[in-house]
Structure 1
């Protein structure tokens, strides 16, 4: 008998992430953790990152944007999620040949709990002395090239889910393009989780295929602060189309210290996550510490912290 604690964490996570409309139609997708933010910067911007992100986290949102900056970079972020679960992401990118190679890992750990065996006589369970756990995991590798104003790329990923002794997995493909319109303004299109179905205990479901159309405004100065706005339209399999947006403010306090502020909002009201998120960051030379906050309507709040490093191409 699987621990009720683990089942409750998995069930609550699914209820938070699976839209009400899909549940009403008795139709769901697998690996709903792929909907969760994979970057601290992205979370603080309302998870709007297909047109804005040119760092290593682009591997999770728009692989074409891996070629958005001629740098090497790496980052890791951790978020204490709902019901004592933990969400973490790790990514890196570096120039290779005529383009840029990116790698990334995204995981949700539901923790562990004591295993309880059913006792038909008493109707109660008894501990077995063993523990059970549940984990969702995705690993991706991608490549992107840049030609003039156009950037394009793709990535292959492996997705695995494990609950106690039951596990399943699938392969998928992401593709994305971005084009510079003027200055640093850009338009981007990406499609994630193409193909693949996960089967657990005989039940099969497709991955949450998602299409994003994003727009990033040109940077503008308000006094000493440089501002940039982003917006995105997102459509996911079996979900309503959603609109989200965000803004980032950057202030160079000195030649090697930069302060950042971010805010994001979503108009899609299909999950328990609050529509507003915010955060900030501190960059010192080639290192940055980022923070993001998001609330849930009935399940408290979550905090995400990330660390990044980058360097120009030698």
Structure 2
């Protein structure tokens, strides 16, 4: 006997309860109004620094591609597609002795994938000044994020996954410090019948960091991404990221080509992807009219070093990103 078709109200209720609809509804509710945006700029700029040389070579277009330990930063929903435990580390040397480091570990289990990570941005010794601009003793500054991640595939589905991060953020400038808690949410879908994957994430949901009487909101970011494997080793990725409080939209387009085949039984060679990306920025913050799109093309050798340790071996990537002010 054929089951009766659901009525209009029942069909609407079923549609609303779909994970993708709930995800975008939550993202919409978390986006502040335009009046609030006009008065706010984000702090905790270290949360805008991406991890991994491969995502950097793709222009940050990693929301739909993420399926390794770096998914903690770009899209925690991608962690569910990890098939083996993975340890990853990133180190970058910036100007004036500033160092950026990340280390993360992810472990797939029968009940989903769990991950932990630490991100740290630290400056060298800085010269202090008092209220009269006279030199005082030096000081150091550091920002740290401690992350716990969880991701799993939806029941009955091998293609769709959801994930989240819980982050403890701590910022220290000399004797002063501030801390807060933030949450990331992510989703990913990989089509079984076509070489296409889609991803979405909402990053840095939480209260801002407050130093004394000044509080800055976290860099709330909404991301949508798509990736399409054109032919075998050639992959094309696209990301659109909205930095809510900074009133800025980024578009990243990246390609990668694996010169060697992926590792498989009997083959001891690993893939060596090379990347090319095009990056565009549009910003309306502190300007009467929106700024035109500014494309940035980046190809070359890196300042960023990324190490990934698998069960079967070690993979080393290097990458370079254009220097941009973190606050703009």
Q: Please tell me the TM-score bracket, short chain as reference.
A: 0.7 to 0.9
Contact 2:89 2:308 (8 Å CA) reproduced = no
Distance 1:30 1:277 in 2: 27
Q: Which residue of 1 aligns with 2:68?
A: 55
Structure 1 contact 274–295 (Cα < 8 Å) conserved: no
Q: 1:156 aligns with which of 152, 155, 166?
A: 166
Q: Which residue of 2 aligns with 1:233?
A: 240
Match of 2:319 among 288, 292, 297: 292
Aligned pair 1:81/2:81, yes or no? no
* Equivalent of 1:252 in 260, 264, 272: 260
Is 1:107 the equivalent of 2:153?
A: no
| Corresponding residue of 2:220 | 209
Q: TM-score, normalised by structure 2?
A: 0.73
Distance 2:295 2:139 in 1: 31
Contact 1:176 1:191 in 2 (8 A): yes
Which one is further off, 186-195 or 175-184? 175-184
From 108, 133, 144, give the equivalent of 1:137.
144
**1:240 CA drift (Å):** 2.5
Residue 195 of structure 1: CA displacement? Answer: 1.7
The 2-side partners of 1:205 and 1:126 are apart by 27
- Does the 8 A contact of 1:229 with 1:246 survive in 2? yes
- Cα distance per residue 1:59-80 (max 9 Å; x no partner): 1111110011211111101111
Structure 1 unaligned segments of length 5 or more: list them: 1-23, 299-314
Aligned to 1:125: 134
What is the rounded CA distance, in whole Å, between the counterparts of 1:283 and 1:169 in structure 2?
A: 29
Contact 2:96/2:124, CA 8 A, preserved across alignment: no
Q: Which runs of 5+ in 2 are unaligned?
A: 1-36, 262-266, 286-293
Which of residues 297, 302, 312 in structure 2 aligns to 1:276?
297
- Match of 2:80, SS? helix
User: In the TM superposition, what is the alpha-carbon distance from 1:296 to its structure 2 partner?
Assistant: 3.1
Question: 1:185, 1:219 within 8 Å by CA — same for their partners in 2?
Answer: no
1:117 Cα deviation from its structure 2 partner = 5.5
Give the TM-score normalised by the residue count of structure 1.
Answer: 0.76
CA RMSD of aligned residues (A): 3.0
String of CA shifts for 1:230-260, please: whole Å, max 9, x gaps: 0011111122222111011101177424322
1:31 is aligned to 44
Distance 2:129 2:307 in 1: 46
**CA–CA distance in 1 between the matches of 2:118 and 2:211?**
22
**2:320 match: secondary structure:** strand
| Inter-partner Cα distance in structure 1 for 2:324 and 2:184 | 31
Please identify which structure carries the higher strand content: 1
Question: Paired residues, what number?
Answer: 266
Residue 184 (structure 1) shift: 4.1
CA distance in 2, matches of 1:52, 1:240: 23
SS in 1 for 2:54: helix
SS in 2 for 1:111: coil
